[in-house]
Amino acid sequence: MAGTKHDSGTIEHGVGRTALMVAAARAIETHRPDSLVQDGYAEYFVRATRVCEDWPLRNEQVPGGDADPLWGRLGRYFGLRTRVLDDFVLRATRAGGRQVVLLGAGLDSRAFRLDLPEDCVLFEIDREPVLHFKQDVLDTLGATTKTRRVPIAGDLRGDWAATLIDAGFDPAEPCVWLAEGLLLYLSADAERSLIHTVDSLSAEGSSLAFEVKLGVERPEIRANAVYTAAKQRIGVDLLTLFDRGSRPDSIGDLERKGWTADVKTPFDFTREFGRGPRPEPDDALASNRWVFAGKPRQ
Protein backbone atom coordinates (compact mmCIF):
# COMPACT_ATOMS: atom_id res chain seq x y z
CA MET A 1 0.00 0.00 0.00
CA ALA A 2 1.28 3.45 -0.78
CA GLY A 3 0.35 6.77 0.73
CA THR A 4 1.43 10.37 0.55
CA LYS A 5 5.19 10.91 0.74
CA HIS A 6 6.09 13.34 3.50
CA ASP A 7 8.68 16.03 2.89
CA SER A 8 11.56 16.89 5.19
CA GLY A 9 10.63 19.28 7.94
CA THR A 10 7.83 17.24 9.54
CA ILE A 11 9.03 14.13 11.38
CA GLU A 12 12.38 13.72 9.70
CA HIS A 13 14.68 15.97 11.72
CA GLY A 14 16.22 15.47 15.15
CA VAL A 15 14.56 12.97 17.42
CA GLY A 16 11.86 12.37 14.79
CA ARG A 17 14.44 10.87 12.46
CA THR A 18 15.61 8.52 15.20
CA ALA A 19 12.03 7.17 15.28
CA LEU A 20 12.36 6.39 11.57
CA MET A 21 15.75 4.75 12.18
CA VAL A 22 14.19 2.49 14.81
CA ALA A 23 11.27 1.72 12.46
CA ALA A 24 13.71 0.67 9.72
CA ALA A 25 15.53 -1.56 12.20
CA ARG A 26 12.23 -3.15 13.23
CA ALA A 27 11.39 -3.77 9.58
CA ILE A 28 14.73 -5.50 9.03
CA GLU A 29 14.23 -7.56 12.20
CA THR A 30 10.72 -8.54 11.10
CA HIS A 31 12.03 -10.13 7.90
CA ARG A 32 14.93 -12.04 9.43
CA PRO A 33 14.56 -15.84 9.44
CA ASP A 34 15.42 -15.76 13.19
CA SER A 35 13.31 -12.69 13.94
CA LEU A 36 12.72 -11.68 17.54
CA VAL A 37 9.76 -9.43 16.73
CA GLN A 38 7.10 -9.04 14.06
CA ASP A 39 6.20 -5.44 13.23
CA GLY A 40 4.36 -5.34 9.92
CA TYR A 41 3.81 -1.59 10.16
CA ALA A 42 7.43 -0.46 10.57
CA GLU A 43 8.45 -0.50 6.91
CA TYR A 44 5.44 1.60 5.89
CA PHE A 45 6.51 4.43 8.18
CA VAL A 46 9.91 4.46 6.47
CA ARG A 47 8.44 4.20 2.97
CA ALA A 48 6.18 7.19 3.64
CA THR A 49 9.12 9.62 3.81
CA ARG A 50 11.22 10.87 0.92
CA VAL A 51 14.34 11.25 3.02
CA CYS A 52 14.37 7.51 3.84
CA GLU A 53 13.77 6.14 0.34
CA ASP A 54 17.19 4.48 0.13
CA TRP A 55 17.18 3.00 3.64
CA PRO A 56 17.24 -0.83 3.80
CA LEU A 57 14.16 -2.69 5.00
CA ARG A 58 15.52 -6.23 4.64
CA ASN A 59 18.74 -7.71 6.00
CA GLU A 60 19.78 -8.76 2.49
CA GLN A 61 19.75 -5.08 1.53
CA VAL A 62 22.39 -4.29 4.16
CA PRO A 63 25.97 -4.47 2.82
CA GLY A 64 27.85 -6.63 5.26
CA GLY A 65 24.72 -7.86 7.00
CA ASP A 66 25.08 -8.13 10.78
CA ALA A 67 28.65 -6.82 10.58
CA ASP A 68 27.34 -3.44 9.45
CA PRO A 69 27.59 -1.09 12.47
CA LEU A 70 24.34 0.76 11.69
CA TRP A 71 21.75 -1.64 10.29
CA GLY A 72 23.49 -4.76 11.55
CA ARG A 73 24.73 -4.10 15.07
CA LEU A 74 22.58 -1.11 16.06
CA GLY A 75 19.62 -2.46 14.11
CA ARG A 76 19.80 -5.77 15.92
CA TYR A 77 19.99 -3.87 19.20
CA PHE A 78 16.69 -2.14 18.41
CA GLY A 79 15.11 -5.46 17.44
CA LEU A 80 16.20 -7.02 20.73
CA ARG A 81 15.02 -4.00 22.72
CA THR A 82 11.62 -4.13 21.02
CA ARG A 83 11.17 -7.81 21.90
CA VAL A 84 12.24 -7.35 25.52
CA LEU A 85 9.89 -4.41 26.03
CA ASP A 86 7.06 -6.19 24.21
CA ASP A 87 7.45 -9.00 26.73
CA PHE A 88 7.46 -6.50 29.60
CA VAL A 89 4.19 -4.90 28.47
CA LEU A 90 2.52 -8.28 27.94
CA ARG A 91 3.58 -9.59 31.36
CA ALA A 92 2.46 -6.43 33.13
CA THR A 93 -0.96 -6.29 31.47
CA ARG A 94 -1.56 -10.00 32.03
CA ALA A 95 -0.74 -9.39 35.69
CA GLY A 96 -3.60 -6.91 35.88
CA GLY A 97 -2.39 -3.60 34.45
CA ARG A 98 -5.19 -2.11 32.36
CA GLN A 99 -3.55 1.24 31.57
CA VAL A 100 -0.43 1.46 29.41
CA VAL A 101 1.34 4.77 28.82
CA LEU A 102 3.98 5.01 26.09
CA LEU A 103 6.18 8.00 26.93
CA GLY A 104 7.68 9.33 23.71
CA ALA A 105 5.72 6.79 21.69
CA GLY A 106 7.33 7.62 18.35
CA LEU A 107 6.35 5.08 15.69
CA ASP A 108 5.46 2.41 18.23
CA SER A 109 2.77 0.02 16.95
CA ARG A 110 2.14 -2.03 20.10
CA ALA A 111 -1.55 -1.10 20.16
CA PHE A 112 -1.83 -2.81 16.77
CA ARG A 113 0.64 -5.68 17.25
CA LEU A 114 0.31 -7.00 20.78
CA ASP A 115 -2.46 -9.21 22.12
CA LEU A 116 -3.36 -6.90 24.97
CA PRO A 117 -6.46 -7.44 27.14
CA GLU A 118 -9.60 -6.09 25.46
CA ASP A 119 -10.35 -3.84 28.44
CA CYS A 120 -6.89 -2.28 28.36
CA VAL A 121 -6.37 1.33 27.24
CA LEU A 122 -3.06 2.41 25.71
CA PHE A 123 -2.06 6.09 25.84
CA GLU A 124 0.61 7.36 23.43
CA ILE A 125 2.31 10.65 24.29
CA ASP A 126 4.53 12.38 21.75
CA ARG A 127 4.89 15.59 19.78
CA GLU A 128 1.99 16.45 17.48
CA PRO A 129 3.96 16.19 14.17
CA VAL A 130 5.08 12.65 15.03
CA LEU A 131 1.57 11.53 15.98
CA HIS A 132 0.08 13.19 12.89
CA PHE A 133 2.55 11.49 10.55
CA LYS A 134 1.99 8.16 12.27
CA GLN A 135 -1.79 8.42 12.02
CA ASP A 136 -1.62 9.30 8.32
CA VAL A 137 0.34 6.12 7.60
CA LEU A 138 -1.89 3.93 9.77
CA ASP A 139 -5.02 5.35 8.12
CA THR A 140 -3.59 4.57 4.67
CA LEU A 141 -3.04 0.98 5.79
CA GLY A 142 -6.52 0.69 7.30
CA ALA A 143 -4.86 -0.43 10.54
CA THR A 144 -7.08 -1.44 13.47
CA THR A 145 -6.02 -1.64 17.09
CA LYS A 146 -6.24 -4.66 19.35
CA THR A 147 -7.14 -2.46 22.30
CA ARG A 148 -8.32 1.11 22.87
CA ARG A 149 -5.64 3.61 21.84
CA VAL A 150 -5.52 7.26 22.91
CA PRO A 151 -2.87 9.45 21.19
CA ILE A 152 -1.95 12.57 23.19
CA ALA A 153 0.07 15.44 21.76
CA GLY A 154 2.40 16.74 24.44
CA ASP A 155 5.93 17.71 25.38
CA LEU A 156 7.40 15.36 27.96
CA ARG A 157 9.86 18.06 28.98
CA GLY A 158 6.93 20.07 30.34
CA ASP A 159 3.73 19.56 32.35
CA TRP A 160 1.91 16.65 30.71
CA ALA A 161 0.19 15.03 33.70
CA ALA A 162 -3.02 17.07 33.48
CA THR A 163 -3.31 16.37 29.75
CA LEU A 164 -2.98 12.64 30.37
CA ILE A 165 -5.64 12.70 33.11
CA ASP A 166 -7.96 14.77 30.91
CA ALA A 167 -7.62 12.05 28.25
CA GLY A 168 -9.03 9.46 30.65
CA PHE A 169 -6.02 8.22 32.62
CA ASP A 170 -6.91 7.16 36.17
CA PRO A 171 -4.11 7.66 38.74
CA ALA A 172 -5.98 5.43 41.19
CA GLU A 173 -5.48 2.37 38.95
CA PRO A 174 -2.17 0.54 38.30
CA CYS A 175 -0.37 1.59 35.15
CA VAL A 176 2.25 0.08 32.85
CA TRP A 177 4.70 2.83 31.87
CA LEU A 178 7.16 2.49 29.01
CA ALA A 179 9.91 4.98 28.08
CA GLU A 180 11.70 3.27 25.21
CA GLY A 181 14.84 5.27 24.41
CA LEU A 182 13.29 8.50 25.70
CA LEU A 183 15.49 9.37 28.67
CA LEU A 184 18.62 9.38 26.52
CA TYR A 185 17.43 12.62 24.92
CA LEU A 186 16.17 14.48 28.00
CA SER A 187 18.12 16.93 30.11
CA ALA A 188 18.84 15.91 33.68
CA ASP A 189 16.14 18.24 34.99
CA ALA A 190 13.58 16.93 32.49
CA GLU A 191 14.43 13.34 33.46
CA ARG A 192 14.01 14.08 37.15
CA SER A 193 10.68 15.77 36.46
CA LEU A 194 9.45 12.86 34.36
CA ILE A 195 10.38 10.27 37.00
CA HIS A 196 8.69 12.39 39.68
CA THR A 197 5.53 12.69 37.56
CA VAL A 198 5.42 8.96 36.81
CA ASP A 199 5.73 8.20 40.52
CA SER A 200 3.04 10.72 41.47
CA LEU A 201 0.62 9.22 38.93
CA SER A 202 1.35 5.59 39.78
CA ALA A 203 -0.93 3.57 41.99
CA GLU A 204 0.46 0.57 43.85
CA GLY A 205 0.96 -2.30 41.44
CA SER A 206 2.25 -0.05 38.65
CA SER A 207 5.37 -0.90 36.63
CA LEU A 208 7.85 1.06 34.56
CA ALA A 209 10.50 0.13 31.99
CA PHE A 210 13.05 2.61 30.66
CA GLU A 211 16.50 2.86 29.12
CA VAL A 212 19.44 4.91 30.44
CA LYS A 213 23.15 5.33 29.83
CA LEU A 214 25.43 5.12 32.86
CA GLY A 215 28.44 7.38 33.22
CA VAL A 216 30.22 9.55 30.66
CA GLU A 217 31.49 7.84 27.53
CA ARG A 218 35.20 8.08 26.80
CA PRO A 219 36.39 9.66 23.51
CA GLU A 220 37.24 6.20 22.18
CA ILE A 221 33.63 5.14 22.67
CA ARG A 222 32.26 8.33 21.15
CA ALA A 223 34.31 7.48 18.05
CA ASN A 224 32.63 4.07 17.78
CA ALA A 225 31.43 3.10 14.28
CA VAL A 226 27.82 2.89 15.51
CA TYR A 227 27.81 6.65 16.11
CA THR A 228 29.79 7.64 13.03
CA ALA A 229 27.74 5.44 10.69
CA ALA A 230 24.43 6.84 11.95
CA LYS A 231 25.66 10.42 11.46
CA GLN A 232 27.36 9.98 8.09
CA ARG A 233 24.89 7.67 6.40
CA ILE A 234 21.45 8.76 7.61
CA GLY A 235 22.05 12.11 9.27
CA VAL A 236 21.30 10.98 12.82
CA ASP A 237 23.90 12.50 15.13
CA LEU A 238 23.17 10.55 18.29
CA LEU A 239 26.01 12.16 20.21
CA THR A 240 24.47 15.59 19.65
CA LEU A 241 20.95 14.38 20.44
CA PHE A 242 21.99 12.66 23.67
CA ASP A 243 22.11 15.11 26.54
CA ARG A 244 25.75 15.43 27.60
CA GLY A 245 25.17 16.75 31.11
CA SER A 246 25.69 14.66 34.22
CA ARG A 247 22.87 12.19 34.52
CA PRO A 248 20.52 11.86 37.51
CA ASP A 249 20.30 8.61 39.44
CA SER A 250 16.76 7.75 38.33
CA ILE A 251 17.14 4.15 39.48
CA GLY A 252 18.09 5.25 42.99
CA ASP A 253 15.40 7.93 42.96
CA LEU A 254 12.71 5.35 42.24
CA GLU A 255 14.05 3.04 44.94
CA ARG A 256 13.98 5.88 47.45
CA LYS A 257 10.34 6.41 46.51
CA GLY A 258 9.60 2.78 47.35
CA TRP A 259 9.91 1.17 43.93
CA THR A 260 11.89 -1.99 43.24
CA ALA A 261 14.27 -1.96 40.27
CA ASP A 262 15.87 -4.71 38.21
CA VAL A 263 18.73 -3.40 36.04
CA LYS A 264 19.85 -5.36 32.98
CA THR A 265 22.35 -4.90 30.17
CA PRO A 266 21.34 -5.58 26.55
CA PHE A 267 23.89 -8.38 26.53
CA ASP A 268 21.94 -10.20 29.26
CA PHE A 269 19.15 -10.62 26.72
CA THR A 270 21.52 -11.45 23.87
CA ARG A 271 22.57 -14.43 25.96
CA GLU A 272 18.96 -15.28 26.83
CA PHE A 273 17.68 -15.25 23.24
CA GLY A 274 20.90 -16.31 21.53
CA ARG A 275 20.54 -13.33 19.19
CA GLY A 276 21.50 -9.69 19.35
CA PRO A 277 24.61 -7.56 19.76
CA ARG A 278 27.59 -8.88 21.69
CA PRO A 279 30.19 -6.82 23.56
CA GLU A 280 33.04 -5.30 21.57
CA PRO A 281 36.02 -3.04 22.39
CA ASP A 282 35.13 0.62 23.04
CA ASP A 283 31.49 -0.38 22.82
CA ALA A 284 28.83 2.28 22.27
CA LEU A 285 26.26 -0.07 23.82
CA ALA A 286 28.24 -1.04 26.93
CA SER A 287 26.85 1.73 29.14
CA ASN A 288 23.21 1.14 28.15
CA ARG A 289 20.96 -0.25 30.84
CA TRP A 290 17.37 -1.44 30.63
CA VAL A 291 15.54 -0.86 33.89
CA PHE A 292 12.39 -2.69 35.02
CA ALA A 293 10.79 -1.08 38.06
CA GLY A 294 7.70 -1.87 40.08
CA LYS A 295 5.70 -0.03 42.76
CA PRO A 296 4.78 -2.80 45.20
CA ARG A 297 1.35 -3.17 46.74
CA GLN A 298 1.44 -2.54 50.47
Sequence ranges of the domains in the chain: 15-266+288-294
pLDDT at 2 over 80: no
- Calculate helix-pair angle for 225-234, 15-30, nearest 10 degrees: 100
Show the 3-state SS of the chain: CCCCCECCCCCCCCHHHHHHHHHHHHHHHHCCCCCCCCCCCHHHHHHCEHHHCCCCCCHHHCCCHHHCHHHHHHHHHHHHHHHHHHHHHHHHHHCCCCEEEEECCCCCCHHHHCCCCCCCEEEEEECHHHHHHHHHHHHHHCCCCCCEEEEEECCCCCCCHHHHHHCCCCCCCCCEEEECCHHHHCCHHHHHHHHHHHHHHCCCCCEEEEEEECCCCCHHHHCCHHHHHHHHHHCCCHHHHCCCCCCCCHHHHHHHCCCEEEEECHHHHHHHHCCCCCCCCCCCCCCEEEEEEECCCC
The pLDDT of residue 274 is above 90: yes
Phi/psi region, residue 265 (left: phi>0; alpha: psi -120 to 50; beta: rest), is beta
Q: Which residues pair with 292 in a beta bridge?
A: 209, 262
Residue 258 has a pLDDT of 97
- In tens, the pLDDT along 122-153 reads 999 999 999 999 999 999 999 999 899 999 99
Q: Is the pLDDT reported for residue 10 higher than 90?
A: no
63 contacts: CB under 8 Å, gap ≥ 6: none
Nearest C-alpha neighbor of 26 from the set 1, 46, 8:
46
Residue in 146, 142, 149 with CA at minimum distance from that of residue 102: 149
Q: Please, which pLDDT band fits residue 1 given cuts at 50, 70 and 90?
A: very low
- The fraction of the chain above a pLDDT of 70, given in percent, is 95
Average pLDDT over residues 212-231: 93
What pLDDT band is residue 216 in, cutting at 50, 70 and 90?
confident
Contact 12, 22 (CB under 8 A): no
Mean pLDDT of 243-249: 84
Residue 13: pLDDT over 80: no
Which has the minimum average pLDDT: 2-16, 202-216, 227-241?
2-16
More confident residue, 222 or 6: 222
What pLDDT does residue 65 have? 92
- 15-266+288-294: CATH topology is Rossmann fold (3.40.50)
With 60 as the cut, is the pLDDT of residue 163 above it? yes
Cα gap 272→75, rounded to integer Å:
18
Q: What pLDDT does residue 16 have?
A: 84
